[in-house]
Amino acid sequence: MSNRVIAIDGPAGSGKSSVARALAAGLGWSFLDTGAMYRAVTVEALDRGVDVHDQVAMGELAKEAQMTTLPRVRVNGRDVEDEIRSERVNIAVSVVAANALVRAQMVGRQREFAAAQPLGTVVEGRDITTVVFPNATIKIFLTASLEERARRRDDEGEASVSRRDVADSTREASPLRQADDALVLDTTGRNVDDVVEEIIQCLKLKTLS
């Protein structure tokens, strides 16, 4: 098993998922979309009628939920891939992600997943470099202009993306912030392959040092 982890943080629409998927494919490593995990829990709560503001109930739901994120997102045997980006989930997921009980469950699972991978793992999210994998092999923080990020997330407008920025960066439990030792990459106007290549070069330099 490998302890090699490339941790990628950044706000909504900064390119985390696209870059992380392409990077994992290029390296032959495993990929983990942690945001999809929180969205899957949110879908399950909404479908069950669980109040997402009820911290204890949500913590129990997260503890019991069985989920996978590849090849499609599934929770308790249900394929929810097409639901996790819906407007109702966009509205509720920041509340779920701010729940410390839910985060504790998800962080444990994320670490277990990475520890079980044979070659390495590319993990993306909003607290990956600061909380989940503070000792990652490489830490990346992706940014982009609000206009660019809203354009990429065409299911949301600038107001929605901005609202999530505020919610993610001001929550008490594991807020989004840039790690001091993270490599910051602005992806505005850049294609995925270009960003991936820069990260791979950084990984090579890290391996040689």
Per-residue model confidence as pLDDT tens digits over 149-207: 998 887 677 888 888 888 888 888 888 899 999 999 999 999 999 999 999 999 998 87
CB 139 within 8 A of CB 180: no
Owning domain of residue 202: 5-208
Per-residue model confidence as pLDDT tens digits over 73-116: 999 999 999 999 898 998 999 899 999 999 999 999 999 999 99
C-alpha pair distances (Å), 42 with each of 7, 57, 69: 23, 12, 14
DSSP SS3 for 132: helix
Considering the entire predicted model, what is its pTM? 0.89
> Which CATH number do you get for residue 168?
3.40.50.300
Query: How many domains in the chain?
Result: 1
CB 39 within 8 A of CB 73: yes
